[in-house]
Amino acid sequence: MSRILWDQLAAMNTHYFHYPFEYFLETQKEFSIKKLELWGAVPHLWIDHTGYESPAGLLTQAKELGMDFAAHTPRPYGYSLCVPERGCQKENSMSYYKNCVDVTHEIQAPYLCLNFVGGCFDYAPGILWDSCRESLKELCRYAQGRGVQIALGTVSSEDGTILGTLPKLVQMIREVQEENLKALLDTYVISQAKETIDQWFTVLGEKIVHIHFTDGRNASPRIWGEGIYPLRQYLNALAQKGYSGALGMPFLDERYWDNPRQADKTNYTRLLKFCPKGWEADG
């Protein structure tokens, strides 16, 4: 019978903004976490459109503690795949995300997780859509040469103007037509769109290769137990669908910055109540 395992949890360094990467790793070891999802951002890693610092040290530290990178989610900064015209902004954005692909390859992670943040309201939706499609196609082809798959997710309405729903994501994947373009399910974003895990798996199935798994409330992702999402129901749905990928947990809210270890402890304690050795589907 399918089950969600503790080893599928992938810790993220998003809320360790004021702490060194070593402290983040030591904390995850304390809670027997084996998978990591890199939040590609300063102060832990420098990436921009001109280049990036080598992530080799991060990989070595993780390997020494028996951990692997399940995915890489880069911080968008001011870069956007939605820029409609070719020019400095467009070219630099593409260069940035290609550098992110290279980092993903170098940390031996299979997936680069993206969504279409940004997009100006004064452009016709069709113009932005076409720009995103062509940018994504170019990025997928670049990633293919480095053995990296792109996990594309939807975006909440406050963060982006297009690709905010499951039907739009399906349409984009079909139009791009690249084998290494997959789907990223984010529990916070799909809740904002009033969508369900069952709906996503019914439509996309094995295209869903990575999940951002957080609680949520008041327009913000939260650690489990601080929000209103049905954890037991979510775990049960994933188990019934036979999902075997990683569950990344991006906690970007600054409420967790001062004491990220305590936030993780609270989060993991909540999860332990439901899956001490793995969550087994009902029935």
Alpha-carbon distance of 237 to 242, in angstroms, equals 9
Report pLDDT for 234: 97
Tally of domains within the chain: 1
Report pLDDT for 278: 65
Report pLDDT for 168: 96
Q: Find the CATH number of the domain harbouring 181.
A: 3.20.20.150
**Contact at 8 Å (CB) between 152 and 81?**
no
Which candidate, 45, 53, 47, places its Cα nearest to that of 21?
A: 45
Give me the helix-helix angle, 166-176 and 197-204, nearest 10°: 20
Report pLDDT for 283: 45
Report pLDDT for 183: 99
Walking along the chain (283 residues) 10 residues at a time, the average pLDDT comes out as: 86 98 98 98 98 99 98 95 85 98 99 86 78 96 99 88 93 98 98 97 98 94 97 96 97 96 97 77 55
Q: Which residues contact 91 (CB under 8 A, 6 or more apart)?
A: none
User: Phi and psi at residue 119, in whole multiples of 5°?
Assistant: 105, 110
Structural domain for 150, as ranges: 3-280
* E strand segments, 100-169: 111-115, 149-153
pLDDT digits (tens, 9 = 90+) for 20-57: 999 999 999 999 999 999 999 999 999 999 999 999 99
